[in-house]
Amino acid sequence: YRGGVDSEGRPVMVVVGAHFLLRCLDLERFVLYVVK
């Protein structure tokens, strides 16, 4: 599914996917920090 493009012409799906991956990595880092 491609919901158009963002201001730089990239597919929005790619941008959202990258943002989601970054949030997942941040969440994992946060969990590791709390577990220590």
pLDDT tens, residue by residue, 1-36:
556 776 777 777 777 777 788 887 898 888 888 988
pLDDT at 24: 79
Domain membership of residue 12 as a residue range:
1-36
Distance CA 12, CA 30 (A): 27
Distance CA 22, CA 28 (A): 10
The structural domain count of the chain equals 1
What number of other Cβ atoms are within 10 A of residue 12's Cβ?
A: 13
pTM of the predicted model as reported, rounded to 2 decimal places = 0.42
pLDDT at 2: 56
pLDDT at 14: 73
Check: CB of residue 11 under 8 Å from CB of residue 2. yes
pLDDT at 22: 84
